[in-house]
Amino acid sequence: MARSKCRQEGRLALLDLDEKQFTSFFESLGQPAYRARQVWHWIYRRHVLDFADMTNLPSGLRQDLVARAFLPLLRVLDEKKAADGLTDKLLFGLPDGKSVEAVLMRYDGGEKSRRRRTVCVSTQVGCPIGCAFCATGRQGFVRNLSSGEILAQVLYFSARGLVSDDGPVTNVVFMGQGEPLLNFPAVWHAIEVLNSSEGFDLGARHITISTAGVVPRIRELAKKGLQVGLAISLHAPTDELRTRLVPLNRRYPLAILMAACREYVAITGRRVTFEYAMIDRINDDLVHARQLAGLLKGLSCHVNLIPLNPTEAETWHPSPHNRVLAFQAELETGQIRSTLRVKRGGDILAACGQLRSRCT
């Protein structure tokens, strides 16, 4: 359980608390448990983040809350909207002056898919993994986000959606800045609140965690009992190439990572998604496709093929469309299902690997 370490002028960050801690805090104020439930519902069901707007609370309690607690609100430092209107990227200022980016993606669905509003949240300021093609990794690691700072990203978009045409957030993906499984206590606390029927009430299958392959935490996640999705940032089918692209592979090489993925499938019954950035003449040869098919053979999985999203300092280029299609056909021959990811937000640097902690 993530304990609150985030205080502001001696006040407690309420979003860092679980339901039990939340109730205990209200008891310390001399308030009955139902007052805690009222505030909890104001925050997570009605997405109200100002004590003054919690109109069924006594004025004295609202004054006590202002004096003793705070909701770690995020300041919007910059906002960009993609030309197609389907993606928004926001740069949020944190209470300590640091900043992170989060993204809202709109999918209007069709006959075979539902309307979705997906929020891609960050879990760290910067990232310690240092993937060769990722803008976040090049800025280095600064600190973990608290569970409240993670939840605040979702709550911001939810509150905004309720007063606009967007509607509520329907999906949350932990695919923004940072490695979620290296901040697992805070991430898991946020997931429990998002999933709780007394909290945000978001189905576990509408939540996905992406990881570069932190094996011990993949095994821990498998045993948690919630049906959250798991996505592995793979990007290469051999240890030599993957170590070049994803340095974490030195610690958890492919044999160990694949064993953890198979264990995850065996325990949860859910397939694993593998993210594969297609980089021209680096990892997109037909030989690579055959190697990838061999690596994943017999594993319940799906591969997302993602033409590399350009970053400012990168000399690599996305694979041409014909090479991506040939790669995909070779995977199909090897009986590995895949999808060519629809690109979103590339024109505002909001796509995979493009997020940074500054205005762009």
Residue 25 has pLDDT above 70, yes or no: yes
Taking the C-alpha atoms of residue 267 and residue 223, their distance in angstroms, rounded to an integer, is 7
How would you class 240 by CB atoms within 10 Å of its CB: exposed for 0-12, middle for 13-18, buried for 19 or more?
Answer: exposed
CATH code: domain of residue 45: 1.10.150.530
Structure tokens at 299: 């594993």
CATH code: domain of residue 329: 3.20.20.70
* One domain for residues 315 and 301: yes
Provide the mean pLDDT of the chain: 90
Give the residue numbers spanning the domain of 54. Answer: 11-70
Please report which confidence band the pLDDT of residue 310 belongs to, taking 50, 70 and 90 as the band edges. Answer: confident
pLDDT in tens, 158-184: 988 876 777 889 999 999 999 999 999
Of the residues 131, 275, 352, 359, only one is catalytic, namely 352
Residue 355 has pLDDT above 50, yes or no: no
| pLDDT score for 313 | 52
* Domain boundary, last residue among 28, 47, 70: 70
Per the structure, the count of domains in the chain is 2
Gyration radius from the chain CA atoms: 21
* One domain for residues 20 and 165: no
Do the beta carbons of residue 224 and residue 270 sit within 8 Å? Answer: no
* One domain for residues 59 and 80: no
* One domain for residues 261 and 302: yes
Order of strands across the sheet with 11-13? 7-8, 11-13, 69-70
Phi, psi of 185 (to 5 degrees): -60, -45
| pLDDT score for 341 | 81
| pLDDT score for 120 | 96
- Min mean pLDDT across 227-241, 324-338, 339-353 is at 339-353
pLDDT in tens, 107-128: 887 656 678 999 999 999 999 9
Question: Average pLDDT of 337-354?
Answer: 62
To the query of whether residue 359 is one of the catalytic residues in this protein, the response is no
pLDDT in tens, 285-298: 999 999 999 999 99
Structure tokens at 76: 């919007």
To the query of whether residue 101 is one of the catalytic residues in this protein, the response is yes
* One domain for residues 156 and 20: no
* One domain for residues 125 and 29: no
Please report which confidence band the pLDDT of residue 353 belongs to, taking 50, 70 and 90 as the band edges. Answer: very low
In a domain, 4, yes or no: no
Question: Average pLDDT of 258-284?
Answer: 97
| pLDDT score for 133 | 87
| pLDDT score for 209 | 98
pLDDT in tens, 194-226: 999 999 999 999 999 999 999 999 999 999 999
In percent, the amount of the chain with pLDDT more than 90 equals 78
* One domain for residues 87 and 149: yes
* One domain for residues 88 and 109: yes
The secondary structure of 187-216 as a DSSP string is HHHHHHHHH-TTTT---GGGEEEEES--HH
Of the residues 6, 101, 301, 330, only one is catalytic, namely 101
Residue 70 has pLDDT above 80, yes or no: yes
Structure tokens at 111: 């006959």
Residue 1 has pLDDT above 50, yes or no: no
Do the beta carbons of residue 212 and residue 251 sit within 8 Å? Answer: no
* One domain for residues 224 and 86: yes
In a domain, 172, yes or no: yes
* One domain for residues 22 and 124: no
In a domain, 357, yes or no: no
pTM here is 0.90
| pLDDT score for 114 | 76
Do the beta carbons of residue 68 and residue 327 sit within 8 Å? Answer: no
| pLDDT score for 7 | 59
| pLDDT score for 39 | 97
* One domain for residues 22 and 94: no
* One domain for residues 82 and 61: no
| pLDDT score for 72 | 74
pLDDT in tens, 132-159: 888 887 889 999 999 999 999 999 999 8
Alpha-carbon separation of residue 241 from 131, 133, 237, 249 (angstroms):
12, 13, 7, 10
